Amino acid sequence: MEDITSDQPIEQTEPNKCANCGSSWIEQGYPTPLCSDCRQRFIKFPIPGLIKLFGLAIVAIVLISMIRLPQNISLGIHKARGEKAFKNRQYQTAQDEFGSVLKTAPQYTSAKMNRAMSSFYLQDYKSLLSDLGELEGKEIENQGLYSQLVNISNQLTDYLPSDTFLTMQQASADSSGAIPVKKLQNFIAKKPDEVYALLALASSYFNTKEYTLADSILSGILKKDPGHLTALALMTTTKRELNQFDESIEYCDKLISLNKESIYGISSKARTFLKMQKDKEALKLALQAKEIKKDDPYNLATLALVYHFSNMMKQRDELISRAANDSTTSSYFEFVNDVITNKIKFR
């Protein structure tokens, strides 16, 4: 049996030849042996179109992300601030922050719900009803938030006039919009549980300086609903006019406990302190309210009163002058002018 052997050598790549074409004219100084022509061909190797498109898409995504990143960060900051403020019952801040969220993301349902509820505690019914209208028919996943919103919506019947009341008002109101007391009394006799009508009657008694009658009606409303915002607000002024200052402050504090940024609660408390001749405390509160909302007309009028009794005439006159050129604010300053001219004795 013969042993089979091979005398032919195994082929190996020669280090001094081009790895691509076999040319011996290789370009020195590179780890891979290539001739100059082959090296240039590899350097200029064409990139397929799909790879180019994919690369361009990646670049576009990165650029879009870079552009949107600050916007998304800002959105997240406003959302977190709004949620914190809402939790802390700082409803003016909450309304503002959720408003900023909705400017960037108008379809953000939870932000709209939170803003609507904040508006309720601010008694900003125009904004509240606008948001509720936009939420109608929308699918809401957050059932906890939805439950809170439904609860607030159900309370609106005690804050807004019924169709029956509006019909009576249209038929009975005088040229100034005031409804005669007798008409209100007759309406309430038929509908004794309509809170809005009761509030209208209490307000009418207050305007005619029948403070004890106003007090009685408001006490009845608050007995059924201790947190009724409008009744609490009217009670702060009614008690002040009755010179029941401690009770006035108590109702102010109740308002502030429900909304820590209640401009009316803080400002009404300032007026009560002012009537008690605690001018420093009154100034502190009026300035605090101005920090929350600088253009609130009721508080600006309060601040003017504080400046008046604190002999800060320059600051007082600046506010009065500014209010005279603003139709939405000027009506609030009628009381201020009456106090300054001694037409009304405030204290």
Range of the domain at 68: 49-136+143-158
Domain stops at, among 45, 60, 85: 45
Q: Is residue 186 part of a domain?
A: no
Together in a domain, 54 and 152: yes
How many whole angstroms from its chain centre is CA 92?
A: 6
Together in a domain, 303 and 219: yes
**E strands in 184-278:** none
Whole-angstrom distance, CA of residue 281 vs CA of residue 269: 9
Q: Which residues contact 162 (CB under 8 A, 6 or more apart)?
A: 191, 194, 196
Together in a domain, 309 and 250: yes
The total domain count for the chain is: 3
pTM: 0.78
3-state secondary structure of 26: strand
| Tens-digit pLDDT profile for residues 188-224 | 999 999 999 999 999 999 999 999 999 999 999 999 9
323 within 8 A of 334, measured Cβ to Cβ: no
Residue that the structure tokens 């300086």 belong to: 209
Q: Which residues contact 200 (CB under 8 A, 6 or more apart)?
A: 165, 179, 184
Together in a domain, 208 and 309: yes
Together in a domain, 152 and 241: no
Together in a domain, 153 and 206: no
26 backbone dihedrals φ, ψ, rounded to 5°: -80, 155
Q: Is residue 83 part of a domain?
A: yes
Domain stops at, among 128, 158, 188: 158
292 backbone dihedrals φ, ψ, rounded to 5°: -70, -45
Tokens at 73, concatenated: 């960060």
Query: CA gyration radius for the chain?
Result: 37
**E strands in the chain:** none
Q: Is residue 32 part of a domain?
A: yes
The domain spanning residue 325 has which CATH number? 1.25.40.10
Kindly tell me the sign of the dihedral angle through the C-alpha atoms of 347, 217, 202, 155. positive
- Cβ neighbour number for residue 165 with a 10 Å cutoff: 18
Together in a domain, 208 and 285: yes
Q: What is the pLDDT along the chain (347 residues), one digit of tens a residue?
A: 444 344 444 344 456 777 778 777 777 777 777 787 777 776 655 555 555 565 555 655 555 544 454 566 778 888 999 999 999 999 999 999 999 999 988 888 999 999 999 999 999 999 999 999 999 888 888 888 889 999 999 999 999 999 999 999 999 888 888 899 999 999 999 999 999 999 999 999 999 999 999 999 999 999 999 999 999 999 999 999 999 999 999 999 999 999 999 999 999 999 999 999 999 999 999 999 999 999 999 999 999 999 999 999 999 999 999 998 888 888 999 999 999 999 999 98
The residue among 209, 277, 288 whose CA lies nearest residue 241 is 209
